Every structure is written in C-alpha cells, then in structure tokens.
Amino acid sequence: MATPIEDHLRDEDPGEWTLVIRGRPLTVDGLLLAAGRTVSEFTWQGDPIAAVSAEVTGPGRSTEDVLAGPRLRTRRTYASAPVSALVDGGFAVLPSFAAPHVSIVLPTYDEVCAGALVSILGPEHVNPYYLRTR
C-alpha cells in the first residue's frame, strides 16, 4: 500500500519560499521517469502522486546554499523559477521530507504536463558550485 505523502510534509510556510531549483535531468523524459517512481510509492489526497523533486530557497537558505548542497553540487547545470510561477502554472509545491526538498506535483502524468514544467523552469544555467567542496 502506497504511503501518504501527507505523513512526510514539513510544517513550513510556502509563502516564504522564493525559488524552486532543480538540476539535470531537465527533460520531459527525465522528469516523467522520476515522477513515475513516486506514482508507485506515494499518494497525495488519496491518489497516486506524480511528483518531481526539487529544492527551494527561502529564509536562511540562499540560491548559493542550495547549489552547493550535497545533491545539487553534482549537477553541472540547473534551472530555477519563482515558486509563484509554478503555482500559477498549476503545479502544487509540497514541503516534503527534509528541507530544502520539495515535491512538484504534476496535475497529470503525461508529456504535456512535464513539458509545461520544463518550460516554466526555463533555461539551464551553469552551476558554479559543481565539483567544489564545502
């Protein structure tokens, strides 16, 4: 039986978040592959959830902090967008598991929806913290 993601949401105010940041893969196929895993394991509001993992900036957590973090620093490039842009585009952003991790919910698990998310995240930028050690 799949696990409700509600059991793993942080008590955090999304209104304080600024940017959503995600490194590669930033392709439709890559996002669907990742979201397919959550469909198997987790539910949200009683249904299987297709979600893409990302990280957020906010109070006490800068873009540099995220890019130099243990996961993002393995990414050569990244893309980012205001949290509000994702929400306006129809993507719920959930404060799941340990900060700064979030789950971006795909309203439908298909290429159109994943493509829309890729578009909102925008162009890739070089991660200046790639390969650096803290």
Considering only 57-65, 79-87, 106-114, 126-134, which stretch makes contact with other proteins by CB under 8 A? 126-134
Among 28, 34, 68, 85, binds other proteins (CB under 8 A): 34
Confirm or reject binding of residue 1 to other proteins (CB under 8 A): yes
From residue 3 to residue 32, the character string flagging contacts with other proteins as x (rule: CB under 8 A) and all else as - is x----x-------------xxxx----x--
Write b or e for each residue in 15-24: b if 16 or more Cβ atoms lie within 10 A of its Cβ, otherwise e.
eebbbbbbbe
Confirm or reject binding of residue 54 to other proteins (CB under 8 A): yes
**Residues 115, 119, 120, 122, Cα dihedral to 10°:** 140
What is the C-alpha to C-alpha distance for residues 96 and 54, in angstroms, rounded to an integer?
10
Binding site for other proteins (CB under 8 A): 1-3, 8, 22-25, 30, 33-34, 37-38, 40-42, 52-55, 70-77, 97-98, 101, 130-131, 133
